[in-house]
Structures are given as C-alpha cells and as structure tokens.
Amino acid sequence: MNIRKILVPVIGAKQDAGALALAFAAAKPFDAHVEAFFVHPDPREAVPYVGMPVSPEVIQTIVDSARDIAKKAAKVAHAALEKAASHAGAKLVEHPVTGSKIVTASFREVEGHFITRVGEAARLSDLVVYGTATLDSGPDVSGAFVETLTRAERPVLLGTDSTPHALLRKIVIGYDRSVAASHAITAALPYLALAGEVELIAVQDRPLDTKSLDEAVEYLALHGVSAETHIIDKGERTAGEALLDAAAKSGASMLVIGGYGHSHLLESIFGGTTLHLTRHPAMPLFMVH
C-alpha cells in the first residue's frame, strides 16, 4: 500500500497551520497529494428556533451574516494552505495530478454538515490529518475526528503543538494484542517501512503473553521492517500515561496506536488509554479504529 491522498479538514483557525504542516511532512515520502477540505455550513442552520414568527428580513440578515463568516474563515484557511505549501515546497493545483513526482496540494470547498461531509471525504482518503487540540476544538471538529475513525474507518494522524522535523526518525507502536492495535500496524506499514527505527512497546498491567509480541515482530519482518520490543510496567500510572512516557523517553517521532469504541459519547468511544493519548499528545499519533 502507498499513501497517495491525505485529507486535512480546515476551519480557518489557528490549528490549521499545524495540521497542514504535519500533512505535508506525511506526504513528502510518497509525493502524495494534500487536500485542504473546508465545509461551508448550510446558512439556514444559523437561524435560531425562537418559537415565534421571525420576519423574512431578519432571517435573511442572519443567513447572510453566517455566509460572510464562513467565507472569511475559508479565506483564512486557504491562506494557511498557501503558506504551508510554500514552506514545504509543494505545488498548488486545482485537482490531484496522477503520477506526480512532487507533493501537490489543493483546496476544496463544499457545503453541508461538517461531520457528515468530512466523513464522506475521508472514505476515499489514505490518511486524514487533524491538528492539535482537536478534541477541544468544538463538537464539529471532535465529532469529525470520531466519525473518521469509527465510521469512515480511515487512519488518522493527530498532530501536536509542533511538527517534528523528522517524522519517520523513530516510530513506536503501542501494542496490546487488540484488533485495533493490529489494524494500526497494518495501516501504518507504508511509514513503518521507511522509519529509521521501529519499536513495539507493551504496557504490562497483567500477565503478558510475550508470544504475541514475537508474532507482531515476525509479521513486520515479513514486510521488511525490523522492530525491537520493550515491555514496561504500568505502576501507579494509567496505561496511556505509561505508554506516552515510554515513547517520549525512547525518542519517538511518531506513535502508532489503535483507537476503539462502542458508543456515540466521546468518553465512551475511546478507552482510557486512547483518550489520554489524544488529549496529551507528546508526538504525532497515527491511529486506526
């Protein structure tokens, strides 16, 4: 598998710059295409329900105001794309170019419900990149993040406050034998194959079957990826805290984990480990449901 299309939902806010910078770093090894995706909300949704008749003039004023706000946000997002593309040496194009030998980027605007439209666009993307503080950026952005993982079932790369200069220097895999962790490994193979170092870390909070770690190492070796293993004791920390500490101490430039869930509520969608990692990312997180 190769990485050819990377989707970046943008909203015209500060975190767009970090998400785009991370997307270009993730695109560079594959000369992939980065699509900045902006959703104009349906302006009619801005009209509040007040339980009494509202004049057409007032409704039109509200709709026009909402439309103007969205246009300004789109301009800010487009400017962020231009700046990030220039810094990354990427070429701005109207549409993806087949067989491009350089990283390309485009800006796409659609109208509709943010979560729905991002989820639809994610289905035909190899990777979806979100910026720092995604889960605290409001219900639309955090909802789209969850939608991408759990319904579109696409890999997500979640950024931090700063973009690493060498994204593939060392990749750490948080491995717990779960289906989600296994899916994360297989989805991350394009990056794992190019990494300078790969390490599997297992957090021990109960008797651990080391055979499963050996099987994971064997699987990676079949794909030409050499990996070391490291078992750490959780102690008094949560599994998420222990994994983040270990990954940071090992010098990880990316952490690969499985994200899992069973409910529509954010606190229930992610297990404790996943939720802690996404709220306290010390390095970019590559996640798969």
pLDDT for 136-168, tens place per residue? 667 788 889 889 988 899 999 998 876 667 899
Which pLDDT does position 189 carry in this prediction? 98
Q: Where are the beta strands (DSSP E) in the chain?
A: 5-10, 33-40, 91-92, 104-111, 127-130, 156-158, 170-174, 197-204, 228-233, 254-258, 285-288
Question: If you average pLDDT over residues 21-50, what whole number do you get?
Answer: 86
The residue count of the chain comes to: 289
pLDDT for 42-84, tens place per residue? 866 656 655 556 677 777 777 778 889 999 999 999 999 999 9
pLDDT for 167-190, tens place per residue? 999 999 999 888 888 999 999 999
**Cα distance between residue 128 and residue 23, in whole Å:** 8
Phi then psi for residue 52, to 5 deg, are -150, 160
**Cα distance between residue 209 and residue 227, in whole Å:** 18
pLDDT over threshold 80, residue 194: yes
Structure tokens, 195: 């990494």
* pTM score: 0.88
- Mean pLDDT, the chain, rounded, equals 86
Decide: helix, strand or coil at residue 40: strand
Q: What is the side-by-side order of every strand in the sheet holding 91-92? A: 91-92, 104-111, 33-40, 5-10, 127-130, 156-158, 285-288, 254-258, 170-174, 197-204, 228-233
What confidence tier does 267 reach under pLDDT thresholds 50, 70, 90?
very low
Q: How far is CA 17 from the centre of its chain?
A: 14
Which pLDDT does position 264 carry in this prediction? 38
pLDDT for 90-125, tens place per residue? 999 999 888 889 999 999 999 999 999 999 999 999
Which pLDDT does position 144 carry in this prediction? 92
User: End-to-end alpha-carbon separation of the chain, Å?
Assistant: 18
pLDDT over threshold 50, residue 197: yes
Closest CA to 10 of 88, 104, 90, 106: 106
Which pLDDT does position 94 carry in this prediction? 93
Place of tokens 């717990």: 176
Which pLDDT does position 273 carry in this prediction? 52
Which pLDDT does position 269 carry in this prediction? 43
Which pLDDT does position 42 carry in this prediction? 82
